[in-house]
Structure 1
Amino acid sequence: MVMVYVTQDVRAPRGTFQEKPLLIALLVTLTLSAIFVTFPQIDIAVSRLFYVEGRGFPASKMTALNTFRAFGQYFPLTLTIVLVFGLVLKLIYPSRPSLFPPRFTLYFASLFLLGPALLVNGIFKPIFDRPRPRSTIDFGGDDLFVHAWAFGGDFFDDRSFVSGEAAVVVCLVPLAFFVPVVWRRCVFVLLSLFAALTALNRIAFGAHFLSDVLIAAGLMAMLSIALAYVFYGRKGAQACDIKLEAEMTALGHRLHTLRRTALAMISRRLSVAPLLLSPAPSTGENDKG
């Protein structure tokens, strides 16, 4: 399988913002955060577009939109399963090349574990007590509205800041940089559109405010760029694939050796077991008695 990586000789002009994508992502995230903290009514106004008095958020009951949401949940899960399957195949057949380059697997595994799993659900959700739009008084709920980056003061089991589903889908966007160059822009646009529709879907459901999905996207963009530098941008990073491939091959052979040793030991014990369990031969004296 031939894959085109983000490491190419074509670089942005020196001294331009394009040369520093991490800085751009940071500035955009900080700017969005400042806007939503200064003007929190933007969140309420956008969510109100999808709210109907007495009916709540009708979009959440539409079958087509719920199907789209399920697709957005299962697509990243499918990618994870495929990556794990590739690792398992490599360990089963260590003499064959990996189904996916090791850095590709490690990059996306790190992105999903550090982003949606740790940063969003492990840190932000427990810290920021922001109720979902459908739970606030403004939209028929019982909780007070809390703006982005603010502590609510109460403990909510169902928290809004930041959007986990939006974060997961945004983590798929870097896939565009692993396809042939001629397809890169098209795939990037399609994945970005998919992420935007997923974010809009969550807002229409009353599950998240606009700031929840935009700040989540900014955070995941920063993380994906930082990890891309770690795995692909450093000098000598290209040799990482060769080293990881060799280590996985060695690990696969060691596992095969352990398996054969364990099977041989079990086989020997099973062959001895009937002898140990068989009754002792009877003697003539006992027979006469």
Structure 2
Amino acid sequence: MVYVIDAARAPRGTVAEKPLLLATLVTLSLSAFFVSFPAVDLAVSHFFYVEGQGFPATKMTALNTFRAFGQYFPLALTIVLVIGLVLKLIYPSRASLFPPRFTLYFSSLFLLGPALTVNGILKPLIDRPRPRSIIDFGGTEHFIHAWALGGDYFDDRSFVSGEAAVVTCLIPLAFFVPVVWRRCVFCLLSLFAALTALNRIAFGAHFLSDVLIASGLMAMLSIALGHLFYGRPGVQSCDIKLEAALTDFGHRLHAARRRAIARVLDAVTSRLSLSPALLQPAPSTKAERQD
């Protein structure tokens, strides 16, 4: 698995040559647009709202199944990565199931993105009600535009979309497949992310700005981490060093386990050696001998 940044094919001197700058500009432009024109969010959500019924898409079995798949697919990837790491620690002399940088890259991406940025920082700070909770769509809360701070809504917050962020973090998988499949996989993962975002809007769970800005932020993070782990000169040796470190750590764990087992066996043996003395009758006293 090799992460390849194809910036060399981009025309020199253009923004496309610097993908992180491009992602940042797109995210900032989207943010400025939705802050300046908040009615766009309401207009898009109105397409999926039916008076007296709310958002009917929430009752469609196919859409709920698709949402479940979007939740379990990233979870399955996380479980597979954890299993690969555990197997390496159990069998330290064997090669890792996945390259260590691959595991480290996606672990960092999911922890710093959906976990920290979305659920740890943005959702607690930006108290934006979900579409289904605002007055325009049968709720009781007032509409809040994107990036709004300082409100008093402390329930189920909308900005930004966690599910859209998680699915967007899957798109970099396309850069780890063979080159002949890369464009196809990238398009499929991008389509999957777009359909997930549309699904969340149809459910009345997020506004258009929630999913687009979440995707932009995750794109920025994935590109930055990609440069950190794969784009800098000399990082090719990182896999070898990480593999050696995991091997050494696995052997240390096995040595610690053996020492712990030895201590337990020594303690049990010592107790068993004392047990015959404990079972002997107590010596009789002088008064008892006279009797």
TM superposition score category, shorter chain reference: over 0.9
Counterparts in 2 of 1:246 and 1:8: CA distance versus 1, 3 Å = farther
Is 1:4–1:181's contact at 8 Å kept on the other side of the alignment?
no
Letter in 1 for 2:160: V
User: What is the deviation of 1:8?
Assistant: 6.8
**Equivalent residue, structure 2, for 1:166:** 164
Unaligned runs of at least 5 residues, structure 2: none
* CA deviations over 1:50-69 (Å, ceiling 9, x no partner): 00000000101111111111
Deviates more, 1:54-63 or 1:267-276: 267-276
2:242 to 241, 244, 247: 244
* Residue 277 (structure 2) pairs with residue 281 (structure 1): no
Is 1:131–1:160's contact at 8 Å kept on the other side of the alignment?
yes
Is 2:5–2:231's contact at 8 Å kept on the other side of the alignment?
yes
Letter in 2 for 1:281: Q
User: What is the deviation of 1:4?
Assistant: 2.9
Counterparts in 2 of 1:64 and 1:275: CA distance versus 1, 3 Å = same
* CA deviations over 1:231-286 (Å, ceiling 9, x no partner): 00111011111100000000011111111111111112122222334434347867
* Residue 82 (structure 2) pairs with residue 84 (structure 1): yes
* Residue 169 (structure 2) pairs with residue 180 (structure 1): no
**Equivalent residue, structure 2, for 1:28:** 26
Q: Distance in 1 between matches of 2:184 and 2:231?
A: 23
Is the partner of 1:24 in helix, strand or coil?
helix
Q: Distance in 2 between matches of 1:259 and 1:203?
A: 51
* CA deviations over 1:105-137 (Å, ceiling 9, x no partner): 010000000000000011100111110000000
Is 1:130–1:152's contact at 8 Å kept on the other side of the alignment?
no
Is 1:146–1:152's contact at 8 Å kept on the other side of the alignment?
no
TM-score, structure 2 as length reference = 0.94
Counterparts in 2 of 1:48 and 1:101: CA distance versus 1, 3 Å = same
User: What is the deviation of 1:142?
Assistant: 0.5
**Aligned runs of 1:145-156 on 2, under 5 Å?**
145-151=143-149, 153-156=151-154
* CA deviations over 1:78-103 (Å, ceiling 9, x no partner): 11111011010000111111000011
Counterparts in 2 of 1:12 and 1:153: CA distance versus 1, 3 Å = same
* Residue 64 (structure 2) pairs with residue 66 (structure 1): yes
* CA deviations over 1:21-76 (Å, ceiling 9, x no partner): 01110111111111111111111011000000000001011111111111111111
1:16 to 11, 14, 17: 14
**Equivalent residue, structure 2, for 1:44:** 42
**Equivalent residue, structure 2, for 1:203:** 201
TM-score, structure 1 as length reference = 0.95
Q: Distance in 2 between matches of 1:213 and 1:130?
A: 13
**Equivalent residue, structure 1, for 2:109:** 111
Q: Give the RMSD, CA atoms, in angstroms.
A: 1.7
Letter in 1 for 2:191: L
**Equivalent residue, structure 1, for 2:100:** 102
User: What is the deviation of 1:152?
Assistant: 5.7
Letter in 1 for 2:138: G
Letter in 2 for 1:187: V
User: What is the deviation of 1:16?
Assistant: 2.0
Q: Percent identity?
A: 74
Q: Distance in 2 between matches of 1:129 and 1:235?
A: 42
Deviates more, 1:83-92 or 1:269-278: 269-278
Moved segments of 4+, more than 6 Å: 286-289
**Equivalent residue, structure 2, for 1:131:** 129
User: What is the deviation of 1:7?
Assistant: 5.2
Q: Distance in 2 between matches of 1:269 and 1:9?
A: 62
Q: Distance in 2 between matches of 1:206 and 1:161?
A: 13
Deviates more, 1:109-118 or 1:10-19: 10-19
Q: Distance in 2 between matches of 1:19 and 1:89?
A: 39
Unaligned runs of at least 5 residues, structure 1: none
Q: Distance in 1 between matches of 2:176 and 2:11?
A: 22
Q: Distance in 1 between matches of 2:200 and 2:173?
A: 23
Is the partner of 2:235 in helix, strand or coil?
coil
Letter in 1 for 2:113: G
Is the partner of 1:154 in helix, strand or coil?
coil
Is 1:130–1:146's contact at 8 Å kept on the other side of the alignment?
yes
Is the partner of 2:160 in helix, strand or coil?
coil
How many aligned residue pairs are there? 287
